[in-house]
């Protein structure tokens, strides 16, 4: 598999606040994604969850299933219980040909709560990392035994978002645990995504590409906004996230550190489609990614 460019439907319909883009049909999302040229789609709440029905929905637009977020609760249950809980999701991913198992810790996460500021994000203490990493490695080993690669999604409002968090997580997990590099969450969380790419190159198996509006990030930090308020913006103002090429992230530098990467790069931008029309922004993001992937030797 060579590098392929896909999309996440969150630019059309928000998953954390489902009324945002709620009137945008799945058919419109897929038709516009096909028009832009995306080769695949990650899943959102509007997709069917039966293998054949899911493949049938994507087939008319010639797209593959890329993957789907799985919410784990390893802070509150054992690895054995988590492995049992994820079997239905894992079976669906296998049945539709997905290669990566996207996972994030969501027990005590606050990114879905509009009234909770990001300063109240749950943080792991130094003595908690070893046990948590051991449990995540057990889960990743089970995922690998099933034929998929676990990729952990660092995310604002969860226990792993800062550079220190990512370092602790990677240091305390085994080689079966890989990282989903998300340029938007990395940048918002104070990381340099190019440095993350360089440091963890051999354990990066999935890439989410979204950009960050620097002035909204500054406002969010100064005002201690919630994740959702930051994403949606205030009044007529756009939110913190946008598509590649429309913000502060240097994507050329990121992909210069990912030589030989073999997998999906996924355009994301949690935005209100009434303020930021999904099709126009998706076209902008695709154009920018193609422009930086080709010089990096990652696009045929």
Overall residue count recorded for the chain in this entry: 300
Residues with Cβ within 8 Å of residue 136, at least 6 apart in sequence:
74, 79, 152, 169, 173, 177
Whether 92 is in a domain gets the answer yes
Sign of CA dihedral 146, 64, 206, 86: negative
* Amino acid 299: pLDDT: 85
Contact of 57 with 47, CB cutoff 8 Å: yes
pLDDT in tens, 50-68: 999 999 999 999 999 999 9
Whether 298 is in a domain gets the answer no
Range of the domain at 174: 4-293
pLDDT in tens, 18-47: 999 999 999 999 999 999 999 999 999 999
Whether 134 is in a domain gets the answer yes
90: part of which helix (H) or strand (E)? Answer: helix 87-95
Nearest CA to 181 among 165, 166, 171?
166
Bridge partners (DSSP) listed for residue 72: 105
Our CA angle for 255, 257, 258, nearest 5°, is 65
pLDDT grade for 300, boundaries at 50, 70 and 90: confident
Question: How many other β-carbons are positioned within 10 Å of the β-carbon of residue 131?
Answer: 13
What would the mean pLDDT of 155-181 be, rounded to a whole number? 98
The count of domains in the chain is 1
Whether 300 is in a domain gets the answer no
Q: pTM for this one?
A: 0.97
* Amino acid 101: pLDDT: 98
Whether 283 is in a domain gets the answer yes
- For residue 30, what is the domain's CATH number? 3.20.20.150
What is the percentage of the chain residues whose pLDDT exceeds 70? 100
Whether 182 is in a domain gets the answer yes
How high is the mean pLDDT of the chain? 96
């Amino acid at each position: 598999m060579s590098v392929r460019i896909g999309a996440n439907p969150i630019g059309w319909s928000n998953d954390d606040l489902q009324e945002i883009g709620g009137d945008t049909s799945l058919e419109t999302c897929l038709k516009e994604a096909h028009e832009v040229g995306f080769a695949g789609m990650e899943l959102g709440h509007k997709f069917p969850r039966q293998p054949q029905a899911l493949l049938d929905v994507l087939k008319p637009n010639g797209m593959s299933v890329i993957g789907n977020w799985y919410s784990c609760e390893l802070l509150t249950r054992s690895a054995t219980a988590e492995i049992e809980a994820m079997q239905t999701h894992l079976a669906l991913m296998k049945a539709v040909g997905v290669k990566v198992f996207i996972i994030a810790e969501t027990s005590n996460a606050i990114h879905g709560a509009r009234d909770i500021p990001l300063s109240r994000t749950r943080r792991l203490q130094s003595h908690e990392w070893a046990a948590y990493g051991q449990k995540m490695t057990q889960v990743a080993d089970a995922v690998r035994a099933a034929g998929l690669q676990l990729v952990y999604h660092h995310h604002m409002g969860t226990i792993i978002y800062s550079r220190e968090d990512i370092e602790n997580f990677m240091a305390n997990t085994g080689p079966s645990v890989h990282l989903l590099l998300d340029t938007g969450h990395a940048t918002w969380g104070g990381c340099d995504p190019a440095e993350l790419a360089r440091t963890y190159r051999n354990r990066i198996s999935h890439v989410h590409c979204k950009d960050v509006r620097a002035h909204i990030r500054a406002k969010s930090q100064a005002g201690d906004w919630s994740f959702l308020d930051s994403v949606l913006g205030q009044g007529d103002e756009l939110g913190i996230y946008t598509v590649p090429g429309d913000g502060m992230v240097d994507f050329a530098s990121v992909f210069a550190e990912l030589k030989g990467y073999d997998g999906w790069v996924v355009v994301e931008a949690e935005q209100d489609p009434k303020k930021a029309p999904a099709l126009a922004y998706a076209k902008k993001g695709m154009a920018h990614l193609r422009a930086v992937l080709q010089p990096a030797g990652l696009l045929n």
